[in-house]
Chains A and B, each alone.
Chain A
């Protein structure tokens, strides 16, 4: 795959109450953004098991985006705090696995932040494009 034609495949896990609603708002406001993220809706970012992240990478995702409510705003009070802690350790683990931790991104997007959602998607798409295809996805291996 050449640099220009590389279109990153990103899996996005969005919490139902804030981030998914924020993504919907980007839609109702007709804010345009890159089509690289495939969204999977979960009730709370706290539902996102690190297992899902690893599964997505295993299946060839170039990046994984998790978006939840801002601290203090989680519909279930504290789900997003657990996500933040889990993903912090996941990032360290990805590093040990030799996968650039930038490929995993955790963002807070409220129901009112449609524009921010669009920005996050665009920004992440470009960053992953720079990183190139995931090494698991037929990218470079060690030998």
Chain B
């Protein structure tokens, strides 16, 4: 019975500023305390042995360890209790190192504070109750949202480990942004050569269910047991019958009339299209916003695509389909969007023909792009080219204070490609810093400089047109002189921004967005792939700007986490959850809308609230809102906290 208390010296880390003997003396006086000891290093093996022996001898109802932060060693001492056959939640720690001995100098006052913190821990410990961890079974399947390189990599890794994967991609084809590139920095490998085989693997893998042109509509449930509604948009083309001959697109009445988004509007397509020839799945799609049959109900005498299709694949009656699947884990790999330079009116992006974004310029080099890979802009070969780095990145005025991490390097890559196509081109990069942080990046940057690309330090502050040329104006901050150059082409180093629906998706998934709008990892250093919602992991640019190597690495890590969960077959959940006393709940339904995890369920019949303890993460928001006092939080009960308040105030 009672509380067993251990005060750690942590070598001299604690003992130097806190008079440990004095603490023991004071704590021993507390009526709740059965035994109080001090020891050099509580977390060491002999330290833990000491606790175990005492548990066997004194059978305390709870244990207090006064040492370092519970964020550091709570799990360690829980292990000690478990080994001594004691419930691991009958443990409280007093943080007398990080929050006492390390931050105070006056020994007397540090000791006084330590005593107060230990008393608070004892007061709480005396009221602790054994808690039982919940175990739930795991559905052995995963959902991957987004079919860019991140989603593709995760899906393949998980599928290879033998688990079923649903890969949901919003666009008609997987591939993401990488599919738009010709070469990738810094090695200049051909993007298609490394990406398309993976895309084909996805399509062929027996464990992967590809849901392209589909979106996730609803997610409910929790780790191990998510229920996902996938909405498949109608292509108006039977995937089964379409053989991708393309005859329909050639014949379409709107052929070459619709801006092609895959080429960032640098080319035109038909109303029935594939985004690019290597698309997976390679099936045609009718653009419902443009097709005359769909928008007007009529396309000449008869739709030309239907006439052209010898496979009879076109089906205007196709409807969207909603499918519900069950998965144990989710990988969010929804990638990024490109910054819209129209947000910076001084760049005149939309009014001038010779200003391109980074992704547009990628398409110019692509053999499947608008110019079939020829460096021709508006019918002319540009001779003088300027790049503007940090467009929409590190720019508080447009609300993006962060660095997009790829622009410096893709500018270097594109500058190199310009030189490769037009060796005598005059290429200048206007930059404010060059960030070449990755493996081989600095070397690549040097190489590009050696190839004759001029780097001028100074951001472009104004763009205007004169004599048919684009002029860039600004100040060279190294030379401390203004510049004003007329160029044939200005390429903006447009940054990476979160997708427009990232907040909405965050809510759907019950995961947070950090202040930049990307999804928030559970810990910036130690848990960069997890989210706060158990069972949901992040991969690629959805979590923040990064290059392809980092994207692939994170995607692999996310897959490893998924496989870890799925392979266990069941998972345990921390029992810090909220519990409703149904004898007291008046059914006001106030708590229900407050829960960030939708853990509440109103039992209409009984008129009381119920909380699903697997969904509840124990934040306590509902407990602090129940006006009847009917909700209590395991391990953070009102009575326990009141006891702590009383103890620290010497009550």
Contact = CB atoms under 8 A, between A and B. Distances in A.
A73 B515 contact: yes
Interface residues of B, number: 54
A9 B113 CA distance: 11
A51 interface: yes
Contacts of A52: 641-642, 645
A27 B103 contact: yes
A32 B620 contact: no
A56 B649 contact: yes
Contacts of A41: 70, 95
Interface stretch (B83-91, B104-112, B551-559): B104-112
Contact of A35 (B95, B104, B513): B104
Interface stretch (B310-318, B335-343, B621-629): B621-629
Interface string A72-109: 11111111001000100000000000000000000000
A33 B618 CA distance: 31
B651 A47 contact: no
B648 interface: yes
Contacts of B623: 47, 49
Contacts of A35: 100, 103-104, 106, 109-110, 112-113
A59 B646 contact: yes
B512 interface: yes
A59 B651 contact: yes
Interface string A38-75: 11111110111111100110011100000000111111
Contacts of B512: 72-75, 77
A32 B645 contact: no
B103 A40 contact: no
B514 A72 contact: yes
Contacts of B185: none
Nearest to A50: B624
B594 interface: yes
A116 to B, nearest CB: 14
Q: Which of B100, B102, B106, B648 has the most CB of A within 10 A?
A: B648
Contacts of A26: 98-99, 103
B316 to A, nearest CB: 42
A28 B95 CA distance: 12
A128 interface: no
B356 interface: no
A122 B638 CA distance: 28
A39 B103 contact: no
A86 B106 CA distance: 36
Q: Which of B72, B100, B512, B514 has the most CB of A within 10 A?
A: B512
Given A24-B69, A27-B99, A82 B532 contact: no
Contacts of A60: 649, 651
A47 B624 contact: yes
A28 B60 CA distance: 32
A77 B596 CA distance: 7
A31 B99 CA distance: 10
Contacts of B645: 11, 40, 52, 55-56, 59, 61
A49 B649 contact: no
A60 B623 CA distance: 24
B97 A27 contact: yes
Contact of B636 (A31, A43, A75): A43
Contacts of B388: none
B78 to A, nearest CB: 15
A81 B260 CA distance: 43
A40 B651 contact: no
A112 B523 CA distance: 11
B596 A76 contact: yes
A47 B631 CA distance: 12
Nearest to A72: B515
Contacts of A20: 69, 71
Contacts of B532: 75-77
B105 A44 contact: no
Given A11-B645, A26-B103, A76-B617, A47 B98 contact: no
Contacts of B113: 35, 38
Contacts of A56: 645, 649
Nearest to B102: A27
B202 interface: no
B644 interface: yes
A127 B247 CA distance: 78
Contacts of B649: 9, 11, 38, 56, 59-61
A71 B651 CA distance: 34
Given A24-B69, A24-B71, A47 B633 contact: yes
A26 B100 CA distance: 10
A42 B641 contact: yes
A6 to B, nearest CB: 14
A40 B116 CA distance: 11
A79 B624 CA distance: 10
B619 A55 contact: no
B411 interface: no
A70 B618 contact: no
Contact of A46 (B102, B506, B597, B624): B624
Contacts of A16: 71
B444 interface: no
A62 to B, nearest CB: 10
A21 B98 CA distance: 10
A75 B533 CA distance: 9
Given A24-B69, A24-B71, A39 B99 contact: yes
14 contacts: A24-B72, A24-B98, A27-B98, A32-B103, A35-B100, A39-B99, A43-B576, A43-B633, A44-B621, A49-B624, A55-B645, A59-B646, A73-B512, A78-B621
Given A9-B648, A46-B619, A111-B524, 10 more contacts: A24-B95, A28-B98, A46-B624, A48-B624, A56-B645, A56-B649, A60-B651, A71-B515, A76-B621, A77-B510
Interface of A: 9, 11, 16, 20-21, 23-24, 26-28, 30-33, 35, 38-44, 46-52, 55-56, 59-61, 70-79, 82, 86, 111-112, 118
> Which 4 A-B pairs have CB atoms at the shortest separation, nearest pair first?
A47-B620, A27-B98, A38-B648, A46-B621
